[in-house]
Amino acid sequence: MLDINMLREQPDLVRQSLVKRQMDAAPVDQVLELDAQRRVFIQEAEQLKAERNSVSKEIGRSKDAAERQAKIEAMRLVGDRISQLDEQLRQVEESLHGVLSVIPNIPDPRTPLGKDEDENVVLRNVGQPRQFDFEPKPHWDLGPALGMIDFEQGVKITGSRFYVLSGPGARLQRALIAWMLDLHIRQGYTEKYTPFMVKAQTLFGAGQLPKFQDNLYHDIEEDLWMVPTAEVPLTGLHMEDVFDEASLPRLYTAYTPCFRREKMSAGRDVRGIKRGHQFDKVEMYIFCKPEESDAMLEKMRTDAEQTCAALGLPYRVKQLCTGDLGFGARMTYDIEVWSPGLQEWLEVSSVSNDGDFQSRRANIKYRPAEGGKTRLLHTLNGSGLGMPRTLIAVLENYQQADGSIIVPKVLRPWMGGVETITP
């Protein structure tokens, strides 16, 4: 959420930022209009409340029955008017909050201008794509042939866009998860295991609600929501908290499954395991002082890159342009690995600096060491790689002509020393 003061004082900056994101700037004027109305109601209501408070005290002290009764009558009317105003105020604030809640973050000035994903900027390529002396197969051929992926069983027990990992497939994914968590711990992160279901307020704090409600699974009976990413519970860990400056930064990593309805991408990527309703992901998350967040973004990008590099996967780093930037982000790097079977780059990690966008929504602050008022801190999030796509990349990049898969060295300790997966 943006600071309401920013909209009051620099509405043009916010309008421009919406335009840069290829969005309509009209909400800015709605906010200004509602904010003006809000202040009118507040001023009248507070004046009347001040009057009621002081007269009520007089009533408490008054000995004169007639005078007392007169004041009670008068205050009853004042009370009615206050109720009216409070109700009008409540409605205006609800509308204001509603509009403000769906305005995206202001892009960092260093985020390149661009219309859509085609204008994202490739910063560099790392590693050489492997040269095959045979036709590399896509994972949807490799996986079932090796008994690693079973698409039919996923559909049978749940439905489309669900799959079952089996034998070495299940074990390879578990190896990736365990290895990544350990890597992130070495990189300075503290591992967290969180609930996979959260309440609405937690989703609001991370910026998922109200705007992305359609993408979320919701249990109506208990009013709990399945997490679409570990970013949500990790943000929520410190809702309403005030940190001492000395205890920052906080670096967390967590593995969770992620649940997404994918209504927006119905019909896209339906084949294989690239886009499912349930997928596993290891996430990195940082709470830090505002002046540290630039450096933390670079650290997190480096940490994510190390994951790809250590797996021996060729990858490239992109910087998202304004038109493709996520809702809460000020600046984002995507890391993509090459998929020789699908013949495309797969986004396995997205690393973002959200500035104070989430911390304002979730009310997460810190107290400066020199004392004084508490300040909002900055948050960053990044995938320590999404599993299905990483699994795709490993299968397709490490495939041999005979259909077997070489297990990347770093994963072997979690694979019981297995070096090659064969049919």
Binding interface with RNA (CB under 7 A): 4, 39, 42-43, 45-47, 49-50, 52-57, 59-60, 71-72, 75-76, 79, 371, 373-374
Its sign, for the CA torsion 389, 208, 1, 10, is positive
In the DSSP assignment, the letter for residue 129 is: P
Beta carbon of residue 305, minimum distance to RNA (angstroms, whole number) = 38
- Name the residue nearer to RNA (CB basis): 39 or 186: 39
Beta carbon of residue 5, minimum distance to RNA (angstroms, whole number) = 8
- Name the residue nearer to RNA (CB basis): 52 or 137: 52
- Name the residue nearer to RNA (CB basis): 57 or 115: 57
Q: Which residue has the tokens 């920052």?
A: 248
- Name the residue nearer to RNA (CB basis): 39 or 115: 39
Beta carbon of residue 1, minimum distance to RNA (angstroms, whole number) = 12
Residue type (1 letter), 109: P
Core vs surface per residue 323-360: b (16+ CB within 10 A) or e? bbbeebbbbbbbbbbbbbbbeebbebbbbbbbbbbbbb
In the DSSP assignment, the letter for residue 399 is: B
Note every long-range contact of 125-133, with CB atoms under 8 Å and residues 24 or more positions apart, other chains counting. Answer: 125/314, 125/315, 125/316, 126/305, 126/308, 126/309, 126/314, 126/315, 126/316, 126/317, 127/309, 127/312, 127/313, 127/314, 127/315, 128/314, 129/314, 129/338, 129/340, 130/314, 130/340, 130/397, 132/340, 133/401
Beta carbon of residue 91, minimum distance to RNA (angstroms, whole number) = 12
**Helix, strand, coil in percent for the chain, rounding step 5:** 45, 20, 35
Using CA atoms, how far apart are residues 141 and 273, in angstroms rounded to an integer? Answer: 12
Q: How big is the chain, counted in residues?
A: 423
**In angstroms, what CA-CA distances link 71 with 48, 242, 416?**
14, 44, 84
Beta carbon of residue 6, minimum distance to RNA (angstroms, whole number) = 12
Beta carbon of residue 141, minimum distance to RNA (angstroms, whole number) = 38
- Name the residue nearer to RNA (CB basis): 49 or 250: 49
Using CA atoms, how far apart are residues 289 and 270, in angstroms rounded to an integer? Answer: 41
- Name the residue nearer to RNA (CB basis): 76 or 115: 76
Beta carbon of residue 239, minimum distance to RNA (angstroms, whole number) = 13
- Name the residue nearer to RNA (CB basis): 79 or 257: 79
- Name the residue nearer to RNA (CB basis): 41 or 151: 41
Q: Which of 359, 350, 307 is nearest to 331 (CA)?
A: 350
Number of helices (H) and strands (E) in the chain: give both, helices first.
12, 18
Beta carbon of residue 76, minimum distance to RNA (angstroms, whole number) = 4
Beta carbon of residue 71, minimum distance to RNA (angstroms, whole number) = 7
Q: Taking a C-beta distance cutoff of 8 angstroms, is the pair 321, 119 a contact?
A: yes
- Name the residue nearer to RNA (CB basis): 160 or 374: 374
